[in-house]
C-alpha cells in the first residue's frame, strides 16, 4: 500500500495534499496565489537566497546561486523543468507532475523571469505526467514557449548533461563536464536544469512569502522497504529517520539505504540521523533525491548491496570505460561475496576500488556503486566477514539486476 502524508508542523501545508484532476489543480493553484505577477525578480531571488533553498534533484546545490549564474552567463538562457527521476525508489517528481502540474509550471515561468530566459522545456519520461503537463499548458499557457520533451526512462536519463543532450535531439546519456549546462546547454545556450520539486518550491515561495522558511526547509521523501508500506511524505529538515521508519511501518528496520541508491547503506545509529543534506553527509551518507529504503533485521545488507550494484551495472550507459569495468567489477565481486565465494583479500580489493573509482565517470552512477561497497564495508564488516565461505539464507538466490526490489509505484 502506498500513501501520501504531510508531517509539517501545526497543520500547515507544503506541496502535498489530495490529488486533483488538471482543472481542479488550476483553480486550487490560482486560489492559493499561483501565477501571481512578478513585479521585481530581484526580490524573489533575494528571498530564495535568504531562506537557503537548495536544489532537490540530488546534489543540494543552492538554488539562488544556480539561478544567478545562469542569469549572468553570456547569451539568452534556457530553462528546463527536469522531472526525470532515475532512482527507482523515488516517486516525488512524477507525483508532482501528475498532481501539481501548475505548481511546477508556475515555478518554470518564475525561473525564466529570474534568469531572463525566453524558452522553456519540461523533460520527463512518465506518460501520465506528460499528459498532466500538456493538459495544464493547454488550460493556461505560459507567457513563454514551452516544449515537453520525453525520454526513455533509465537511471542516468535525468542527469543534467543527459537532459541537454536529449533535448538537443540526441540520446539521453551524460556527457563529460565541463562544459556544464549553465555554461553551454540546450542549443549551446546557458541553461538552467532545475528539478521539478525545486521549481514547485520556488512557486510556493512566491505565492506564500509568509511560509518561506517552511517551504524552503521541507523535503519530499519517498519511503519504502520490505515488510512495510511505501509512502511519499513531506517533512521538515532535521526530522530523525526513526520517525520516518515508524510512519511507514518500518519500525523494526535494522538498517537503511539512503538517497535512493546513492547515499549508501547505514546500520547502527541510523535512527538518530537527521534528514538533511549536512547531517547525512556528516555521517558519510547523502540525502540525494530523498528516497529511503529500510531493511528488516532479517534482510542481509550484503544481498542488498549486491542487488543494487548489479542494477547499477546493468544501467551503466557503457560509454565511460572506467564505469563499464569499475561498476561491473564491483557488482561481480559483491555478487561473489553474497554467494559465499569471496576470498581473504576480497574485502580489501573492494575497499581499494571504493576509494579509487569515485569521480572518474561522466555521471554519478559509478560513484553510487563505489559508495555502496564502501558503506557496506564500513558499517557491516561482520556481515561481510560472515559470508566468507558460505552464503547466508538471504543471499541464497542470485541477485536480480532489474531494480525491482527498490522500485516504488507512484501513489
Ligand atoms: S559513468 Fe557510467 S553511466 Fe555515467 S556516463 Fe559514464 S558510462 Fe554512462
Kindly state if the Cβ of 369 falls inside 6 Å of ligand 1. no
Residue 398 has pLDDT above 80, yes or no: no
Q: How far is CA 151 from the centre of its chain?
A: 17
Please tell me if the CB atom of residue 365 comes closer than 6 angstroms to any atom of ligand 1. yes
- Ligand 1 atom nearest the C-alpha of 360 is 1
Pairing mode of beta strands 78-82, 119-124: parallel
Mutate to test the pocket of ligand 1, among 58, 313, 366, 369 (most ligand atoms within 8 A of CB): 366
Residue 2's pLDDT is 63
Residue 177 in contact with ligand 1 by CB distance below 6 A: no
Pick the atom of ligand 1 nearest to 173's CA. Answer: 5
Quote the CA–CA distance of 30 and 23 in Å, as a whole number: 11
Q: Nearest residue CA, atom 1 of ligand 1?
A: 361
- Whole-number pLDDT of residue 10: 80
> Could you tell me if the CB of 156 is within 6 A of ligand 1?
yes
Structure-model confidence comparison of residues 22 and 190, the more confident one: 190
Per-residue pLDDT of 89-126, as tens digits, reads 999 999 999 999 999 999 999 999 999 999 999 999 99
Give me the sign of the Cα torsion angle 69, 74, 79, 84: negative
If you measure from the C-alpha of residue 370 to the centroid of ligand 1, how many angstroms do you get, rounded to a whole number? 13
- % of the chain with per-residue pLDDT over 90: 74
DSSP 85: -
For residue 273, give every residue at least 6 positions away whose Cβ sits within 8 Å of its Cβ, in sequence order, or none: 240, 241, 266, 279, 280, 283, 285
Q: pLDDT tens across 375-384, in order?
A: 999 999 999 9
Contact by Cβ (8 Å): 407, 88? yes
Q: Is the CB of 317 under 6 A from ligand 1?
A: yes
Between CA 234 and CA 318, with CA 150 as vertex, the angle to 5 degrees is 95
Give whole-number Cα distances, 38 to 152, 229, 364, in Å. Answer: 35, 41, 36
Q: Is 314 in the pocket of ligand 1 (CB under 6 A)?
A: no
Strand order in the sheet with 146-150: 146-150, 119-124, 78-82, 191-195
Q: Best mutation site among 361, 364, 369 for ligand 1, i.e. most ligand atoms within 8 A of its Cβ?
A: 361
Euclidean distance between CA atoms 195 and 92, whole angstroms: 11
C-alpha distances (whole Å) from 387 to each of 268, 371, 377, 400 are 20, 20, 12, 19
Closest to 334 measured CA to CA, from 285, 372, 379? 372
Rounded Cα distance between 336 and 331, Å, is 9
Residues 6+ apart with CB under 8 A from 276: 219, 237, 238, 287
- Residues 36-67 have pLDDT tens digits of 998 888 999 999 999 999 999 988 999 999 99
Q: What pLDDT band is residue 399 in, cutting at 50, 70 and 90?
A: low
Residue with cell 542569469: 71
pLDDT digits (tens, 9 = 90+) for 141-162: 999 999 999 999 999 999 999 9
Here the cell at position 228 is 512495510
Using one digit for the tens of pLDDT, what is the confidence trace for 298-348? 999 999 999 999 999 999 888 888 889 999 999 999 999 999 998 889 999
> According to the model, what pLDDT value does residue 154 have?
94
Instruction: Identify which of 87, 155, 156, 318 to mutate to test ligand 1's pocket (most ligand atoms within 8 A of the CB).
Output: 156
How high is the pLDDT of residue 21?
59
Helix and strand element counts for the chain (H, E): 16, 10
Q: Where are the alpha helices (DSSP H) in 284-320?
A: 301-315
pLDDT on residue 59: 87
Amino acid 1: pLDDT: 45
Select from 143, 123, 92, 103 the least CA-distant residue to 185: 123
Closest CA to 244 of 220, 279, 266: 220
pLDDT reported for residue 183? 94
375-409 exposure pattern, b = at least 16 Cβ within 10 A, e = fewer: bbbebbeebbeebeeebeebbeeebebebebbebe
**Is 290 near ligand 1, meaning CB less than 6 Å away?**
no
* Domains of the chain from N-terminus onward: 9-214 (3.40.50.11540), 301-406 (1.20.1440.230)
Q: What is the pLDDT of residues 228-277, one digit of tens each?
A: 889 999 999 999 999 999 988 898 899 999 999 989 999 989 999 999 99
Query: What span, in angstroms and rounded, lies between the C-alpha atoms of 70 and 15?
Result: 26
Our answer on whether the CB atom of 318 is closer than 6 Å to any ligand 1 atom is yes
User: Cβ of 180: how many Cβ atoms within 10 Å?
Assistant: 16
Percent of the chain's residues with pLDDT above 70? 97
- Average pLDDT across the chain, whole number: 92
Instruction: Say if CB 195 and CB 383 are below 8 A apart.
Output: no
Amino acid at each position: 500500500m502506498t500513501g501520501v502524508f504531510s508531517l509539517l508542523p501545526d497543520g500547515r501545508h507544503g506541496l502535498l495534499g489530495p490529488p486533483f484532476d488538471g482543472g481542479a489543480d488550476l483553480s486550487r493553484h490560482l486560489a492559493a496565489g499561483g501565477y501571481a505577477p512578478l513585479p521585481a525578480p530581484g526580490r524573489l531571488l533575494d528571498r530564495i537566497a535568504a531562506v537557503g533553498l537548495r536544489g532537490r534533484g540530488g546534489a543540494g546545490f543552492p538554488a539562488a546561486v544556480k539561478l544567478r549564474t545562469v542569469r549572468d552567463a553570456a547569451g539568452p538562457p534556457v530553462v528546463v523543468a527536469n522531472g526525470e527521476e532515475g532512482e527507482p525508489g523515488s516517486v516525488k517528481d512524477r507525483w508532482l507532475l501528475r498532481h501539481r502540474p501548475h505548481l511546477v509550471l508556475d515555478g518554470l515561468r518564475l525561473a525564466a523571469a529570474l534568469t531572463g530566459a525566453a524558452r522553456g522545456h519540461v523533460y520527463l519520461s512518465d506518460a501520465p505526467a506528460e499528459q498532466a503537463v500538456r493538459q495544464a499548458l493547454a488550460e493556461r499557457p505560459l507567457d513563454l514557449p514551452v516544449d515537453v520533451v520525453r525520454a526513455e526512462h533509465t537511471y542516468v536519463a535525468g542527469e543534467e548533461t543527459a537532459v541537454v543532450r536529449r533535448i538537443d535531439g540526441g540520446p539521453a546519456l551524460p556527457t563529460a563536464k565541463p562544459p556544464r549546462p549553465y555554461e553551454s546547454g540546450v542549443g549551446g545556450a546557458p541553461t538552467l536544469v532545475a528539478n521539478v520539486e525545486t521549481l514547485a518550491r520556488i512557486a510556493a515561495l512566491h505565492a506564500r512569502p509568509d511560509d518561506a522558511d517552511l517551504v524552503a526547509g521541507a523535503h519530499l521523501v519517498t519511503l519504502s522497504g520490505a515488510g512495510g508500506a511505501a509512502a511519499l511524505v513531506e517533512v521538515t529538515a532535521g526530522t530523525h529517520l526513526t520517525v520516518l521508519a515508524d510512519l511507514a511501518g518500518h519500525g523494526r528496520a535494522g538498517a537503511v539505504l539512503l538517497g535512493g541508491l546513492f547515499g549508501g547503506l547505514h546500520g547502527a545509529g541510523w535512527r538518530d540521523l537527521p534528514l538533511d543534506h549536512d547531517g547525512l553527509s556528516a555521517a558519510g551518507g547523502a540525502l540525494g533525491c530523498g528516497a529511503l529504503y529500510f531493511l528488516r533485521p532479517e534482510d542481509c545488507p550484503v544481498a542488498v548491496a549486491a542487488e543494487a550494484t548489479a542494477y547499477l551495472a546493468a544501467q551503466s550507459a557503457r560509454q565511460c570505460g572506467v564505469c563499464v569495468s569499475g561498476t561491473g567489477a564491483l557488482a561481480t565481486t559483491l555478487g561473489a561475496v553474497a554467494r559465499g565465494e569471496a576470498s581473504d583479500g576480497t574485502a580489501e580489493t573492494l575497499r581499494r576500488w571504493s576509494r579509487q573509482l569515485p569521480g572518474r565517470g561522466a555521471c554519478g552512477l559509478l560513484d553510487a556503486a563505489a559508495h555502496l561497497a564502501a558503506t557496506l564495508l564500513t558499517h557491516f564488516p561482520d556481515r561481510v566477514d560472515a559470508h566468507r565461505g558460505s552464503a547466508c539464507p538471504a543471499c541464497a538466490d542470485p541477485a536480480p539486476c532489474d531494480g525491482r526490489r527498490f522500485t516504488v509505484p507512484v501513489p
